[in-house]
Structure 1
Amino acid sequence: MSEETGFNQKLKYSNDKLAKKIRRNVGKAIDDYNMIEDGDVVMAAISGGKDSFAMLDILLSLKKSAPIHFDVIAVNLDQKQPGFPEHVLPNYLESKNIPYYIIDKDTYSVVKAKIDEGKTTCGLCSRLRRGSLYSFAESIGATKIALGHHMDDMVETTFLNMFYGAKLKSMPPKLLSDDKRNIVIRPMAYCREKDIVRFAELNEYPIIPCNLCGSQENLQRQNIKAMLTDWDKKTPGRIENLFKSFQNISPSQMADKQLFDFDTLTIDRSAPKKEYKFNSEEISSTNIDDSLVIQIANI
């Protein structure tokens, strides 16, 4: 076997291993949160970025082997950004024989008119896009809306809300819309961005950059991303642990009075006392005599 052949075999093995890892993580997230059920019509929101391309690929792969039947429809919202290559997504989706819709809505003009130059456009852009997708999902009978957010996105969003919004909230893997008319799922919730980057490069997706917000410098999210990237380099596994903490919340150990009733906490010493660890303490000094201790205990 030649050196080149050996290298190609190792590369293929590495690529296959990565694809299986991402597929396994997506499958586990779908199973853990019951994201997709028999008969579902999943509307995969495709932005033209690496995350949504990868999500669409994996969903279509799982559709072939899943023990249930579900359909996947790709939907792109053309927000009329200047220079947006309108032909790229239709050409790609048709070449793969993937059912799709391209819907047009000039949210770009709305955002530019309402947001001052230099200010972050992401919030308004996201709300306008979400409303359009919700409405269209219902019109085509989609029962789930799949978004390409991954683990890094969810951790970043948590810190964004903490640092800049004074709220402890994130992007949930599965979400019922406020009007209860749509369910949003994030099948990539267990996937790391660095794996998706490699996966997208291997698959040579025709990535379309976002000229509206992607080109903005010094956004709050970019600052958070830089912080988390540094953490990840210094302490591998920290991002995964942060995400796992979202799945392991103890309301009584936080401070939200809406989630836990702190007002009515009461002592109950009616049951036999259990032995505490390290309870063999000895009093070395006090100015309270035994009679006062007995008096307090009998109150």
Structure 2
Amino acid sequence: MFITRFAPSPTGYLHRGHAFSALTAHEAARAAGGRFVLRIEDIDATRSRPEFETAIYEDLGWLGLAWDVPVRRQSEHLDDYHASLAALATSGLIYRCFRTRKDIAEDIGRAPHGAMDAWRGAALPAEEEAQRLAAGEPYAWRLSLDAAETALGGRPLTFREEGHGPNGEHGLITADPALGGDVVLARKDVGVAYHLAVVVDDALQGVTHVIRGQDLFEATHVQRLLQALLDLPTPIYRHHRLLTGADGKRFAKRDKAQTLRDLRAHGVTPEALRREMGFD
């Protein structure tokens, strides 16, 4: 069974770029006689808003899309992510990092040229960590690439790309998780970070094909690593081109004039938008 998904975050209104991605996934599922899953990625409680989630359903319905119900909302499944995080901790694959983004940027700036393309850290000595925890210092859980590489024992990880990466990548790709360094998997203000939540969700929802924009191609490398460490299945990936405006920049949520709500208010029909994007 072919199962793909569209997984927006309710942190703003959907725009043309979202429409293109949703339509690409929806039409692929329909062509394969499969299922189209909608997922609301609302783990960032500081930015997610109910009105944006409501607008997602309205906009996708206006486009003529249909999706499986019930819709999975990440905020309702935090136990799933915490269980995976606990499994990684038990295996010694993550560590508490008390360094800020500024601290890490300074580390990278002090490193010899080319010596620190992706930052790696390490757990603090137990006594110092206990003192910082007792003092209430904030921290993030980071994936330890060093520990992950040891756990893999040199085994290469691959994923299949049926679309194209930003540099034309296609076919069987060897993952390079080191590109992202020791990525954050959870932090106090968010609870769980994108990379961990998305691989857990895709596995639990039985997603067989991940269809998304080329801006997320690089994220596939670390997500493939997490799939291996958590013994989760690896979907087939299809990364598609990004829509850009007249200025050559890709659409973003700050481009309010390009939101689907605004287009609809100015009389654009879903049929016209679909034709413009190549979906007749």
TM-score, length basis structure 2: 0.38
For the pair shown, the structure with the greater C-alpha radius of gyration is 1
Flag the structure with higher strand content: 2
> Counting helix residues as a fraction of each chain, which structure ranks higher?
1
- So what's the TM-score if we normalise by structure 1? 0.36
